[in-house]
Amino acid sequence: MSVVKQEDKLLDLTGGENSVGTTIVRAREDWGCRKKAYLERAAKAKPLTAHGSGKIVDAGRAVALLESIIRPGDRVALEGNNQKQAEFLADCLCRVDASKVNRLHMVQSVIALPSHCEIFNRGIAEKIDFSFSGPQAVQVTRLVNESKMKIGEIHTYLELFARYFVDLTPDIALVVAKLADGDGNLYTGPNTEDTPVVVEATRFKQGIVVAQVEEVVETLPRVDIPGGWVDFVIPTGKPCYIEPLFTRDPARLRDVHILIAMMVIKGIYAEYGVRSLNHGIGYATSAIELLLPTYAERLGLNRKICTHWALNPHPTMIPAIESGFVDSIHCFGSEVGTEDYVAARSDIFFVGPDGSLRSNRAFSQAAGHYATDAFVGATLQIDRYGNSSTAVADRIAGFGGAPNMGCDAPGRRHSSEAWIKAGHESGMRNGLIGDMPRGRKLVVQILETRGPRGIECFVDRLDAWELMTRAGLKVPPIMIYGDAITQIVTEVGLAHLHKCATLQEREAAIKAVAGDTDLGKRAKPEETADLRRRRVVQMPEDLGIDVSEANTTLLAAHSMDDLVEWSGGLYKVPEQFREGGNS
């Protein structure tokens, strides 16, 4: 595109004899291109609304609406959340005429549904920037291998949200809410999740916002998104799809989960006085939650640990809440079946005047980054240096929020017992900043030394290196870098990596807890003994844990029915977790 430059002569008003005017060269005259494009798109779509005016569009006209507002090469944000999905709009996007709508650049948190991949199969989209693709990880890998999908970058959630306001601002936002009114005000209900950040980034840069809702009502319970930020509303007549992502059936927990949980509680939570934290998804973290009212209570830790959380309303947290462990939980999103329970526990959860949860992924990610003392999550692979990745061969899964919460925020300045203690123990601190005291966040990775079918989880070289080449990335997709991890916990023991003074010592500590993997077999007994003597590595017996006691009888709940009973009947078990369902 050619640029016409306009030169303006600025006169010097001082009247000085030797004064010189300044010439300003303007690169363009029209500074309203995006606004003009917005008005053109909106005007083209307006006849599709009810009576040709207003914002409500019949579901039968949704495909035509998308074809009228989306242009080839547009950047499109599709929700695409961890749990809540704009599945109707995703299906409609798959049905647009690919000769009219193509070369789209998708910017969405999660590749969760088959339709999210189908738009690439059909040549409608060609590039994506995302955070997590666990449910579609195999399909994403296939699309990349077939050159049907180009990955820009794999982000953490907060990183992707930040780029919405810098260099990945959407032209079109396809979002989902529970209800709307005739003016386009949206009520998101318990599952607000990503909606506010997606809408604000799009609409305030003259982008078009389309929302699918269950129905249009006269009066909303509360307004979560102002109508002035929303261009079109499509009532679908049915609830959107929501994934019960954080639900774990206690009946599926195994003794190894209990052992790992006991080591985390006694060796980390009790040792460091961890009060504010986040748990990742997994059975081992569910075991920790279900041991709080039993094992942790027996250790005298009630009101001393695990009081403040950035966390979705995990059903396995219900016994700990009811037992008085928890003061506060701020949620990224909701969880299917917990709505009534959360509404009844407004002392714990952030609940609106309408009585439903107000979640917000961006705010909760910020809380998890800056305001928590510990992150505890599972992983799939760890190399000999402690780098952790969920990207394994034939699965491009991304990593969601783990890199954001699983790191030590350099900008943190407030102190806590756990933060100060971990910083004081940092083996490499003096070599970096001298004797300057500084705290450190606890970042804990938990895993069994071997995964399903005996696959080794400790490796010399991560699969992420191969995936970097295959996906055309600049760096391997690492979930948490080794220098951020403070502890690794396996069924063998607990390695305090932050206490290590050298990379070689860190490697020895990792080998000590890597079990019968090839990496673990290279552990030197004399090095392991020295690390245990200095409490850099601790086995269950070093922590005073009787391995024979590590079994499921310690759990506060043994079934989904037990969780319902703990909740006083307020928790409603999702259909797929009911008796006979697939949990």
Q: What residue ranges in 92-191 does DSSP mark as E strands?
A: 104-107, 125-130, 150-154, 172-176, 179-180, 186-187
Minimum mean pLDDT among 330-334, 378-382, 388-392, 492-496: which range? Answer: 388-392
Q: Which has the higher per-residue pLDDT, 340 or 471? A: 340
Would 270 be classed as within a structural domain? yes
Q: What is the per-residue pLDDT for 20? A: 61
Report if residue 26 sits inside a domain: no
Q: Which stretch of DSSP H or E encloses residue 445?
A: strand 442-446
CA dist 319 to 465, 556, 558, Å?
Answer: 42, 7, 11
Domain match, 141 and 257 both: no
**Residue 137 reports pLDDT greater than 50:** yes
pLDDT band at 1; cut points 50, 70, 90:
very low
Residue 16's pLDDT band (boundaries 50, 70, 90)?
Answer: low
Q: Is there a single domain that holds both residue 64 and residue 142?
A: yes
Q: Of 284, 254, 109, 307, which is closest to residue 193 (Cα–Cα)?
A: 109
Are 390 and 245 within 8 A, CB to CB?
no
Q: What is the CATH number of the domain that holds 173?
A: 3.40.1080.10
**pLDDT of 2 over the 60 cut:** no
**Whether residues 136 and 175 fall in one domain:** yes
Point out the domain boundary residue: 242, 276, 297.
Answer: 242
Residue 8 is assigned to a structural domain of this protein:
no
Per-residue pLDDT at 333: 95
Q: With the C-alpha atoms ordered 408, 413, 414, 415, is the resulting torsion angle positive or negative?
A: positive
Residue 5 has pLDDT above 80, yes or no: no
Compute the average pLDDT of residues 110-133.
Answer: 97
What's the gap between Cα 442 and its chain centre? 18
Same domain, 74 and 210: yes
Q: Is there a single domain that holds both residue 350 and residue 404?
A: yes
pLDDT tens column, 254-282:
999 999 999 999 999 999 999 999 999 99
Instruction: Give tens-digit pLDDT for 45-95.
Output: 999 999 888 999 999 999 999 999 999 999 999 998 888 999 999 999 999
The 10s digit of each residue's pLDDT in 240-254 is 999 898 999 999 999
Which residues does 454 contact at the CB level (< 8 Å), separation at least 6? none
Is 219 a residue whose pLDDT tops 60? yes
Mean pLDDT of 209-229: 98
172-181, 451-460, 468-477 — most confident range: 172-181
Looking at the domain assignment, is residue 462 inside a domain? yes
Across 320-344, average pLDDT: 97
Report if residue 10 sits inside a domain. Answer: no
Mean pLDDT for the chain overall: 94
Same domain, 236 and 200: yes
Mean pLDDT of 373-398: 92
Give the full edge-to-edge strand order of the sheet including 125-130. Answer: 150-154, 125-130, 104-107, 75-78, 172-176, 208-213, 232-235
Residue at a domain's end among 187, 221, 242: 242
Domain assignment of residue 6, yes or no: no
Q: Work out the percent of the chain whose per-residue pLDDT is above 90.
A: 86
Per the domain annotation, does 439 fall within a domain? yes
400: left (phi over 0), alpha (psi -120 to 50) or beta: left
Q: Are residues 265 and 234 in the same domain?
A: no
Cβ-Cβ contacts under 8 Å for 468 (sequence gap 6 or more):
474, 475, 476, 477
Burial 254-286 (b: 16+ CB within 10 A, else e): ebbbbbbbbbbbbbbbbbbbbbbbbbbbbbbbb
Report the pLDDT value the prediction gives residue 3, as an integer from 0 to 100.
41
Would you say residue 563 has pLDDT above 80?
yes
Distance (Å, whole) CA 568 – CA 346:
15
Lowest mean pLDDT among 23-32, 131-140, 405-414, 573-582: 573-582
Residue 582 pLDDT greater than 60, yes or no = no
For position 4, what pLDDT does the model report? 42
Residue 134: per-residue pLDDT = 84
Give the DSSP letter string of 214-250.
SEE-SS-S--SB-GGG--EEEE-SSPPEE--TT---G
Beta-carbon contacts of 278 under 8 Å, excluding residues fewer than 6 positions away, are 309, 310, 311, 368, 372, 374, 375, 376, 377, 405
Residue 263 placed within a domain:
yes
* Residues of the domain holding 472: 250-566
Beta bridge partners of 494: 489, 538
Instruction: Identify whether residues 216 and 277 lie together within a single domain.
Output: no
- Among 58-62, 135-139, 446-450, 536-540, the least confident range: 135-139
Q: Are residues 202 and 349 in the same domain?
A: no
Residues 270 and 209 in one domain: no
Cα distances from 270 to residues 21, 133, 275, 324, 369, in angstroms, run: 71, 35, 10, 17, 21
Q: Are residues 230 and 272 in the same domain?
A: no
Burial class (CB in 10 A: 0-12, 13-18, 19+), 337: buried
Residues 264 and 384 in one domain: yes
Question: Rounded to 5 degrees, what are φ and ψ at 268?
Answer: -125, -60
Domain count, the chain: 2
